[in-house]
Structure 1
Amino acid sequence: MDDKQRRKGWDGLIEVWNRRKWLAILLFAGPFVATVSLALALPDLYRSTATVLVEHQQVPESFVKASVTGEAEIRLQTISQEIMSRSRILDLITHFNLYPEFRGRVPLEGLVERMRRDIQLELKEMHQQTANPGATIAFSLSYRGRDPETVAQVTNSLASMYVEANVKMRGRQATETVVLLKAQLEEMKRRQEEQERRLSEFKHRHMGELPEQMQANLATLQGLNADLHLNSQNQIRITERRDKLAKELVEASVGGSARGAASGPDTLPGRLERSRVELTELRTRASEKHPDVIRLKGEIAALEHKLTELAREAKLDPAQTAVLVTSPTELKQVLRDVDAELKAVKAEEQRLRKDLATYQRRVEKSPQHEQEFQQLERDYKMTKDLYYSLLQRYEDAQLAGNMEQRQKGEQFRILDSAIPSKSPAAPNRLKLILIGLILSTGLAAGAVLLAEQRDTTFHKVEDLRAFTKVPVLVSIPRIVTDADRRRSHWQFCLRTTASGLSLVLIIGVTYYVAHGNEPLVWLLGGGRS
């Protein structure tokens, strides 16, 4: 039973094939021939890739801080925009004679856009387990084209351009940083000198009245008050002494007159007075070392000693003794000295009071100048701190600039140069043919099934008997005449010719579409167009 059903199924398929074979052959051959023609007509495209390593700063940042900041991704985007510029792309097209088949037919802007699409940049980032996840450690540059040797040369040239552009960009940024910091440093130095000049002028203009001199002024005031008190005491003492000397001078004048009238020149006071007069006259003619001057001094001293002894024996008071011994001339001289001393003390009092007033005024004005002085000093300190901060940053920028000149900073290094590809990157012809084979087979099978489902005719007596209960009495086979055979032959020839011409047309159209069509290659291959 199973064998009979299996044989019946195969017989049904053979019958369907016999009825629909030309439909299946045409619907299979058309797409398949188009696919094969397309796969064979598409141009071979090659791709070469160069890997560029992003080397970080070789000198630790704890020693030299880099003046070029920013992530490598941002710098790569900036460099890409510079390299992908119209002038750079046209230079590459001219140098390597790229796209010769499109020159003259495509505008320059079209060639530039085409090469931009043919260049691909891919970043390679760190894994998430690293200390700095997401950071770019390398990137790959690739270029596609028809000639593998030219493609490799263009790729290496692009990689070299990225390396050179990175060096120039970092050097330019470091130089601009140094120039900017130098200008700011000069401006800050000028501001510092201006603040220092203003502070110096304020100190000079208000010398002695500054808040920082308050304690010194108070200590000076205290010392001046003490000196003024001492000066007052000295004036009292000198005044009492002067009054006493004036009284002695009066007594000496009265006592000398009485003594000169009562006693002769041979008495001790008379001899003492006469010796003093002689000494005074002799000093006008001789020096102190003259023998006569020395002799008179000795006589005067001896006479004063004798008079002092006599006054002590007579029990005279000291004032009477001084009157007896001292002459009115000496008392006048002493009185003049005392007057001069009193005058000097009073002059010192005036000076002390003047200084006292000056320092008192300074102490009173110190709080008035304190706020202004603090503002000037604060501005000066801030400017000074900012100046030294800029100076440190300027020195760091100079070191960073020297490091960039020696290429010790973050650099790009070509890790793997591009080499000519041995096999084309696209198209994958075998894949395209297999896909065409599957699609053609499916299309043919689907068309046959659809035709069978829409066909309402009966091809066998069994089909008619299964469809109706009316008995089939007679089955007349088809009668084929010679005319029918000739007509069938001509129809076969026409169909074969039309099918052949259709296939040739399909091949021609697909070849015309696919020949040199690079965007179609990348579109069919799943790449960028």
Structure 2
Amino acid sequence: MERGMTADQVLKALWRRKVLVGAIVLGAFAVGAAIVLSQQSVYEATAVVRVQPQRPGEEMVQRTVSELVEQRLLTVRQELMARPVLQRAIEEMNLYPEIVSEAGMEAAVNRMRKDLTVRVEGESAFELTYAHTDPNVAAQVANRLPQLFSEQALKSRQEQAARATKLFEDEIVALSKSVTEWEKKIAQFKVDHIGELPEQLEMNMRGLERVGALLQTKSEELRVAEARRSDLARARNAADSEAGRLEAAEHSLTQGLVAARSSWTADHPEVKRLSQELNEMRERRKDAESRQWAERQERARVSELIATIQKEIEGLHQQAKGYQERLDRTPQWAHELGVLNRDYEIARAKYQSVVSRRVEAELAQDLEVKSAESLFNVVSPAGVPVAAARPDRMSGLLISFLIALGLGVLVGVVLEMRDDSIRDTQELRDRLPLPVLAVVPNMQGKVEKRVLMPASGVRNGVASPSSSDSPLN
């Protein structure tokens, strides 16, 4: 039956079964030591990388990459553990060839994630540790992974800067078309409403004033011409009367001269007098008719001048009306042109702003390329490890020994607890509520053995008052 045991009883039980316990301890330790010693040595190489801030560059040029390079430390572990970086490292350095050939690249990437440890140190540095069975490979991978990470990060930043530049270029093309269209609309509007535009308001007002002054001048000329025509009309009646009178007098003299010539000879004084008077009258008539013709020409000229002045005045009135209509329509076109100019200025301002941003984006892109080498600085490159990081064989052997020892003790204690043998007087008193009458020593050999005789009977050389037997050793 099972029972509790004290520490002395455990020690005695282990001592009685020392051979079995020792064999178990040695066997278990041998197995554990074999397992510990058979494990392959793993070496760890560590590299420390520092991220350089980019503040001076941002003061000179507005960057198109909004993410600060220091912020990448927040996700550096995820980026280093990402498949693109690890797969490139596996392909470049031919890592895990057996896994790649048997299970594929994904399994190799998962295995490399287990062998890789990334820790952020401070605000601008991170530590990368890679474990491998070959110390040289561990050092090479630990030094190469930061380079791959920096290349990937710089490539991402440069691509982002290039995308921003391309975006500005596409926007410039669209805005340039918009600005050109607005310019065409404004130009066509000015062509359609030429002479009525706001910038021509002062010109139209001066033109109206000039036409008004010309109207006054022409009106005065017309008044003078009409007065002249009136004078000529009055003079025409007088001239007509004089010419008629002279013509009648000439006719009378002609008749008198004909009568005189019929009565007298040509040398007669009366004939000569009448001939002379007739010639003088004829000259005077011709002179009167000449003056009458000149007056007629003057009257025609004055009439023509009056018609011309009247036509000019009518034209000036039309010009004044045109200028006035332009001045009346100018506010309407000024409003519509203002709306067109406002939209044009908005499009033009956007175009100029995008052009300036495109220039800054190109400068930022060039700055990203030029500052790429100084963003990530390997503070402490990984060296070839000398000692294996794991397994810790001394600790493994110690643990194996402790496990083996515990197993031996456990086996000894379990066997002792399942053993019902009575080995001393105290145990007998504890287990049997009977008095002990005598102890008979075991006389076999040189070693003295005592035999206890309970009152109930005798067993194995011990007297007992009962017929029940109990083995004694």
* TM class, shorter-length: 0.5 to 0.7
Cα distance change of structure 1 residues 353 and 433 upon mapping to structure 2, 3 Å threshold:
farther
CA shift for structure 1 position 250: 3.8
| Partner Cα separation in structure 2 for residue 409 and residue 10 of structure 1 | 71
Please tell me whether the aligned partners of residues 43 and 389 of structure 2 are also in contact (alpha carbons under 8 angstroms).
yes
Which residue number corresponds to residue 413 of structure 1? 377
CA shift for structure 1 position 333: 6.3
Secondary structure of 2:140's partner? helix
Unaligned runs of 5+ in 2: 1-5, 250-279, 446-473
Which residue number corresponds to residue 147 of structure 1? 134
Of 41, 46, 51 in structure 2, the residue corresponding to residue 44 of structure 1 is 41
Amino acid at match of 1:181: F
Cα distance change of structure 1 residues 372 and 82 upon mapping to structure 2, 3 Å threshold:
farther
Which residue number corresponds to residue 431 of structure 1? 395
| Partner Cα separation in structure 1 for residue 309 and residue 27 of structure 2 | 138
Of 210, 223, 228 in structure 1, the residue corresponding to residue 209 of structure 2 is 223
| Partner Cα separation in structure 2 for residue 354 and residue 79 of structure 1 | 86
Query: Where does 1:187-336 land on structure 2 (aligned, <5 Å)?
Result: 187-210=174-197, 212-213=198-199, 215-216=201-202, 219=205, 223=209, 226-227=212-213, 230=216, 233-234=219-220, 237-238=223-224, 241-242=227-228, 244-246=230-232, 249-250=235-236, 253=239, 335=299
- Normalised to the residue count of structure 1, the TM-score between the two structures is 0.61
Cα distance change of structure 1 residues 40 and 242 upon mapping to structure 2, 3 Å threshold:
same
Cα distance change of structure 1 residues 360 and 441 upon mapping to structure 2, 3 Å threshold:
farther
1:472 counterpart = 2:472: no
Amino acid at match of 2:93: L
- Normalised to the residue count of structure 2, the TM-score between the two structures is 0.67
Amino acid at match of 1:388: Q
Higher relative contact order (CA 8 A, sep 6+): 1
Which residue number corresponds to residue 145 of structure 2? 158
CA shift for structure 1 position 40: 1.8
Of 61, 66, 70 in structure 1, the residue corresponding to residue 63 of structure 2 is 66
Which residue number corresponds to residue 322 of structure 1? none
Of 382, 397, 404 in structure 1, the residue corresponding to residue 361 of structure 2 is 397
Of 10, 13, 17 in structure 2, the residue corresponding to residue 16 of structure 1 is 13
Amino acid at match of 2:39: L
Q: How many residues align?
A: 400
Query: Where does 1:423-502 land on structure 2 (aligned, <5 Å)?
Result: 423-442=387-406, 444-445=408-409, 457-475=421-439
| Partner Cα separation in structure 1 for residue 234 and residue 79 of structure 2 | 111
CA shift for structure 1 position 200: 0.9
Secondary structure of 1:49's partner? strand
Which residue number corresponds to residue 255 of structure 2? none
| Partner Cα separation in structure 2 for residue 471 and residue 142 of structure 1 | 74
Please tell me whether the aligned partners of residues 65 and 400 of structure 1 are also in contact (alpha carbons under 8 angstroms).
yes
Unaligned runs of 5+ in 1: 1-8, 127-136, 263-269, 282-326, 482-529
Q: Give me the CA root mean square deviation.
A: 4.4
CA shift for structure 1 position 239: 6.0
Amino acid at match of 1:400: A
1:35 counterpart = 2:51: no
Larger Rg: 1 or 2?
Answer: 2
Identity rate, percent: 26
